[in-house]
Amino acid sequence: MKIHEYQAKEILARAGIRIPEGRAARTPDEVAAAAEALGFPVVVKAQVHVGGRGKAGGVKLAASPDEAKAHGAAILGMDIKGLTVQKVYVERAADYAGELYLGVTLDRDRRRPVVMLSTVGGMDIEEVAEASPEKIARAWPNPLFGLMGFEARELCLAAGVPQAQRAAVAEIARTLYEQYFATDATLIEINPLFILRDGSIMAGDAKLDVDDNALHRQAALSALKEVSPDEQAEERARELGFSFVQLDGDVGIIGNGAGLVMGTLDAVRNAGGNAANFLDVGGGAREAVVKAALEIVLANKRVKSVLINIFGGITRGDEVAKGILAALEETRPRVPLVIRLSGTAAAEGRALLQSARLASRATMDEAAAEAVRLAKSA
């Protein structure tokens, strides 16, 4: 789960990291009022759950109330990578002399979080990592101890942080690492971390992604969850215990098991088509599950055919087929369906489907080819 910059900054501020004064705003008038209260110059920043706001024109400097209001009007409602900006953050512009990057994220290979510090701040860290990896200093503290003082000092030395700032930056790094665990983050990032003209340190931006699996013990963070209109189908699927991702093709996909669904997406691509979604219903495929899954997939108007790929494991294939037939009787989908059953008692299941005149295929490749053909001829 992602939260906004201003929300992440609040968490940092509470942990003792200095942030610029700022206020969230939802209308151009609120932007002007916030700017006046803060004093000029201010920065007006789009609050959306996606990176690259600056490049998209979602971050602008203002020197007067009118300018702030105009920027607010331009940024609010703006579309950034498919998301509509509904809030901006108005912040007193920092007078800075230098920028650092500081972040903590999971390193899967090392099986623990990595702390990254660089004097190349303000840039996309993935680009820095690609172009000049030596400019990023890294540490992999033992999660049971946290980032120790010596590790933080070594990190600052390795990154080449100026001597005057080393102690302060080391302390912020330790705090950030603590917050990573305290918030059950999968990513926590300050980019840029400003070195101000007076030599002090201040967080210029903040990014915090929370582990969805830990929300049960992060009540305060869970309350910050925002579902944009584009994410509503995914949210509904999540409530049903499904895993759903909207894609941009026209073949709807329903399957059980993440790997099998990924394999089905690949089979559709191999057959020259494009999947409209990823939908993993989890375990078995009882009537109610198939019905709910079909509703979610068919809510997408681009869908021209649906491919249901179910592996009958502990739940037998004929039981699965009965569930699908019962669901279809109620739903009556507007597009053709192709069903593919495999695993335990799959042949019996396929016979049931065939007798109900449903297109049913024995292999994933055949089923994918048929679903793609039907989508193209629709």
Partner 1 sequence: MSVLVGRDTRVVVQGFGREGSFHAARMKEYGTQVVAGTRIGKGGTTQDGVPIFESVSQAVAATGANTSIIFVPAPAAADAVLEALASELDLVIAITEGMPVNDMAKVAVALAASTSTLVGPNCPGVISPGRAKVGIMPAENFLEGPIGFVSRSGTLTYEIADLLSGAGLGQSTCVGIGGDPIIGLPTPDAVRLLNEDPETEAIVVVGEIGGSAEERAAEYLRAYGKKPAVAFIAGRSAPPGKRMGHAGAIVSGNQGTAASKVAAFEAAGIPVANAPSEIPDLVRSALRCS
Provide the CA 242 distance to its chain's centre, in angstroms: 17
Asked if residue 109 binds partner 1 (CB under 8 A), the reply is yes
Q: In the chain, how long is the greatest CA-to-CA distance?
A: 80
Asked if residue 319 binds partner 1 (CB under 8 A), the reply is no
How far apart CA 253 and CA 276 sit, in angstroms, is: 7
Pairing of strands 59-62, 42-46: antiparallel
Task: Judge whether 192 and 101 are in contact, CB under 8 Å.
Answer: yes
Task: Judge whether 320 and 343 are in contact, CB under 8 Å.
Answer: no
* φ, ψ dihedrals at 172, nearest 5°: -65, -40
Residues with Cβ within 8 Å of 177's Cβ and at least 6 positions away in sequence, in order, are 104, 113, 115, 141, 146, 147
How far apart CA 218 and CA 214 sit, in angstroms, is: 7
Binding residue for partner 1 (CB under 8 A) from 189, 280, 318, 319? 280
How far apart CA 30 and CA 24 sit, in angstroms, is: 8
Pairing of strands 185-196, 207-210: antiparallel
Binding residue for partner 1 (CB under 8 A) from 25, 117, 278, 306? 278
Binding residue for partner 1 (CB under 8 A) from 217, 301, 332, 357? 217
Segment near partner 1 (CB under 8 A); pick from 11-19, 32-40, 323-331, 341-349 = 341-349
Asked if residue 126 binds partner 1 (CB under 8 A), the reply is yes
How far apart CA 296 and CA 244 sit, in angstroms, is: 9
The helix (H) or strand (E) run that includes residue 255 is strand 251-255
Q: Of 26 and 225, which CB lies nearer to partner 1 in the complex structure? A: 225
Q: Of 18 and 286, which CB lies nearer to partner 1 in the complex structure? A: 286
Asked if residue 313 binds partner 1 (CB under 8 A), the reply is yes
Q: Is 121 helix (H, G, I), strand (E, B) or coil?
A: coil
Distances 157 to 105, 137, 152, 166, 170 between C-alpha atoms, Å? 20, 9, 9, 8, 10
Asked if residue 284 binds partner 1 (CB under 8 A), the reply is no
Segment near partner 1 (CB under 8 A); pick from 54-62, 260-268, 288-296, 324-332 = 260-268
Q: How far is the CB of 282 from partner 1 (least distance, A)?
A: 9
Q: Of 130 and 134, which CB lies nearer to partner 1 in the complex structure? A: 130
Q: How far is the CB of 181 from partner 1 (least distance, A)?
A: 6
Active site residue 126: no
Asked if residue 106 binds partner 1 (CB under 8 A), the reply is yes
Asked if residue 198 binds partner 1 (CB under 8 A), the reply is no
Q: How far is the CB of 372 from partner 1 (least distance, A)?
A: 12
Asked if residue 247 binds partner 1 (CB under 8 A), the reply is yes
Task: Judge whether 340 and 263 are in contact, CB under 8 Å.
Answer: no
Contacts to partner 1 from residues 56-95, by CB under 8 A: none
Q: Of 238 and 373, which CB lies nearer to partner 1 in the complex structure? A: 238
Pick the catalytic residue from 101, 151, 319, 370: 101
Active site residue 96: no
Asked if residue 275 binds partner 1 (CB under 8 A), the reply is yes
How far apart CA 58 and CA 89 sit, in angstroms, is: 11
Asked if residue 213 binds partner 1 (CB under 8 A), the reply is yes
Q: Is 144 helix (H, G, I), strand (E, B) or coil?
A: coil
Asked if residue 344 binds partner 1 (CB under 8 A), the reply is yes
The helix (H) or strand (E) run that includes residue 246 is strand 243-246
Pick the catalytic residue from 99, 189, 234, 370: 189
Asked if residue 214 binds partner 1 (CB under 8 A), the reply is yes
Contacts to partner 1 from residues 292-311, by CB under 8 A: 311
Question: Cα-atom radius of gyration of the chain, to the nearest Å?
Answer: 26
- Taking the CA atoms of 123, 126, 127 and 131 in sequence, report the sign of the dihedral they define: positive
Binding residue for partner 1 (CB under 8 A) from 63, 132, 365, 376? 365
- As annotated, the active-site residues are 101, 189
Residues lying near partner 1 in the complex (CB under 8 A) are found at 106, 108-109, 111-113, 126, 129-130, 142-144, 180-181, 184-186, 211-214, 216-217, 243, 245, 247, 255-263, 265-270, 275, 278, 280, 311-314, 342-344, 363-365
